[in-house]
Amino acid sequence: MKSGIIIGGGIGGLTTAIALQQKGINVKVYERAPRLQAAGAGISLASNAIHVYALLGIEQSIISGGFPIHSATIKDEKDNTLTSLGYAKLLEQFHYPAIAIHRAVLQQKLLEHLAIQDIQTGKCFKTFHQTGNEVSVTFEDGSAAAADFVIFADGIKSAGRGIIQPGIHPRFGGQTCWRFVVPHGDTSTDRSRVVEIWGDEKGKRAGFAPLNGADIYGYITLYKKDEAQFKNGFQKDKLLEICKNFPEFFKELIAATPEERFFKDDLCDVKPFRGWSKGNAALLGDAAHATMPNLGQGACQAIEDAYVLAHYLSTESSITTAFNKYEKIRYQRTKFITDTSWFINQLTNQPSLVKKILFLGMKLDFSGQVDRKLMKMLSMKYLDQL
């Protein structure tokens, strides 16, 4: 029986642990944080992610923790609709819903399907070595662990990627982002929809999605030229000024959010690369293919990784063969999503005139490109190859 180590107790790492244990493979998860507490705010799980959780038999548990997405709309600053997508036809075609869910809630739902003894916190990865068919991992506290393989699900700043692919680094997308969660009872916002607003300025967007019966997740992005631009600390008044031309319903969300509920970070991805593994060590999720958040597929792709990797580790006697097949079937799909999301990100960084032309194209959408790309993204037919 194979045994494994997973570095990282986020969504990708926990889903991988569940998938591997269902295949009869013993794994332990090592998380650097002193306790499992998801950072950030909300995320979306599209039908492809729920499909994987259905294959693992836990989709109802996951769905119960989130809020179903019925429609998604992109608007301009004047509240005019640029494009809108109803999810009824997607549900009919792909059979699984899309939901918005708080990261912490999703993490807790996943933990319900794992034994507490299989997760160790406060374990900051230091390095790994392979001797024969065994991989040994050491941690900053001096402790160590050994298994047949190690999977790095340790995020966009992956320490594992720094060893497997030392020349690969995060790529800055030109925007900074504020994320926040506001209690729904504090606003009059319509909770039946997901909305994104595209501003006239470079990189300026904002949006919101219902997370559950109590909370709404929101975000704001703005073009960022350099590190010094936003070093003066957080000021809610500054965000309200940035969004002064936005519809009133969004400004109401900002005003209702306590300052401690805002999280700021720079938006980055990792340019697609080959070589996700080295010997009996492999990368998963953002460590392998971090993407900009424009398509809402970051967590979804890590979840798909987990299922595919568990399949090959359970069916291939050779771990390196399993890792190679995992990358082969996943690379083009993740590259498509990373490239498409990067393209959207760079479009939003364009000057006002370029964006107005883009808005016109979104209204016409005469080529149906949006629908075709969406169907390609959500389709899970490639799993038939497994």
127, 160: one domain: yes
- The single residue listed with the structure tokens 């169907």 is 375
- Cα distances (Å, whole numbers) of residue 89 to 60, 95, 111: 21, 9, 32
Point out the domain boundary residue: 216, 237, 269: 269
47, 189: one domain: no
pLDDT digits (tens, 9 = 90+) for 92-106: 777 899 999 999 899
231, 209: one domain: yes
Q: Is residue 385 part of a domain?
A: no
- pLDDT at residue 367, as a whole number: 47
- Edge-to-edge strands, sheet with 81-86: 81-86, 71-76, 194-198, 205-210, 215-223, 171-183, 262-269
Q: Which two tokens stand for residue 284?
A: 């998963």
265, 275: one domain: no
pLDDT digits (tens, 9 = 90+) for 182-231: 876 555 566 567 888 888 888 899 998 888 777 889 999 999 865 555 55
Q: Is residue 300 part of a domain?
A: yes
Instruction: Determine whether 149 is exposed, middle or buried from the number of CB atoms within 10 Å of its CB (0-12, 13-18, 19+).
Output: buried
256, 288: one domain: no
State the CATH number of the domain containing residue 187. Answer: 3.30.9.30
204, 258: one domain: yes
- Integer Cα distance of 272 and 289 in angstroms: 6
372, 357: one domain: yes
User: Any long-range contacts for 328-333 (C-beta under 8 Å, 24+ apart)?
Assistant: 329/382, 329/385, 329/386, 330/289, 330/304, 330/305, 331/272, 331/274, 331/276, 333/301, 333/304, 333/382
Q: Is residue 383 part of a domain?
A: no
Q: Which domain holds residue 35?
A: 3-169+270-378
pLDDT beneath 70: ranges in the chain? 38-40, 184-192, 225-234, 353, 355-356, 358-371
Non-local CB neighbours of 2 within 8 Å, separated by 6+ positions: 25, 26, 148, 149, 313, 319
- Integer Cα distance of 301 and 284 in angstroms: 9
Q: Is residue 334 part of a domain?
A: yes
151, 274: one domain: yes
Q: Which two tokens stand for residue 111?
A: 């933990």
Q: Is residue 32 part of a domain?
A: yes
- pLDDT at residue 347, as a whole number: 84
What domain count does the chain have? 2
Point out the domain boundary residue: 217, 234, 269: 269
- Integer Cα distance of 58 and 322 in angstroms: 25
Point out the domain boundary residue: 247, 269, 291: 269
Q: CB neighbours (10 Å) of residue 264?
A: 13
132, 7: one domain: yes
